[in-house]
Amino acid sequence: MMKADKITLPALSQMKAEGKTIVMLTAYDASFARLVDAAGVDCVLVGDSLGNVVHGRDSTLGVTIDDMVYHVDAVRRGLDRALLVADLPFLAYHDRTTAIESAGHLMRAGAEMVKLEGGSVMGPQIAALVEQGIPVCAHLGLTPQHVHQLGGYRVQGREAASARRLREDARAVQEAGAALLVLECVPADLAAAVADDLPIPVIGIGAGPGVDGQVLVLYDVLGISPSPRPRFVKDFMAEATSIDAALAAYVQAVRSGDFPAAEHVYR
């Protein structure tokens, strides 16, 4: 039986409707998942960012579906309340059949939603997953699996044409059935406009304060990622006396609107 305070997709939708900020954080193992869950986050993301922060790679492209299944299974064991979202890794969703098969592996490992990168071109895959009862989170803006195509880790949507495409893609993924959207490294005004456009919650990472929630990589929050760190990152461990305190400070700062501050925002 699901606990009364267990976070569900309808609960996230209700939070957006009521103007309550959604807090998301990554985790990659059971021990950290337990601490993150206890801190009161709403969603835990098992991101393919594990390729960078766990495996030590310079991109996410080497992460496999087997890697993701392993880490999703571990994180699931540490969670009690938070909704568990898992990334579909590079080339694990290039067509409808592959997307369903890959997502099935993640859902059987304990994921409650899968995340994929891309805009309107991903419409058929999103629709196919939703038809199978698999909730989908879309990801737009800086999409790390497209790092070579983008020419590096750069802010997206600063030009009028690219901003227009991003807004069109956001509407397209929502219409295809995505129930959540992550925006990464986009100007704050554009991100706020997208959040206003859509009925689904929009979670930002380097997208300013005008969205419905925030996500960061756990290791960035704890100050153990290698430098240089992106502008949108804040080391919450710098002023904390324990990991528990740093995680609580992150949750509180997001809920109160203190994070992200002006220094974390792209214009």
Domains and CATH numbers, the chain: 9-264 (3.20.20.60)
Beta partners for residue 86, in sequence order:
46, 114
Sign of CA dihedral 57, 62, 65, 66: negative
d(C-alpha 67, C-alpha 63), whole Å: 6
Q: How far is CA 183 from the centre of its chain?
A: 8
> Can you give the pLDDT at residue 174?
98
Tens-digit pLDDT profile for residues 13-55: 999 999 999 999 999 999 999 999 999 999 999 999 999 999 9
Query: For residue 4, what pLDDT band results from cuts at 50, 70 and 90?
Result: low
Structural element, H or E, at residue 215: strand 213-216
Q: Give me the pLDDT at residue 150, please.
A: 86
Task: Quote the pLDDT of residue 2.
Answer: 57
Local structure of residue 11 (DSSP, 8 states): H
Secondary structure class of 208 (helix, strand, coil)? coil
168 is catalytic: no
Q: Which of 159, 175, 184, 263 is labelled catalytic?
A: 184
pLDDT at 164 over 60: yes
Flag whether pLDDT at 118 surpasses 70.
yes
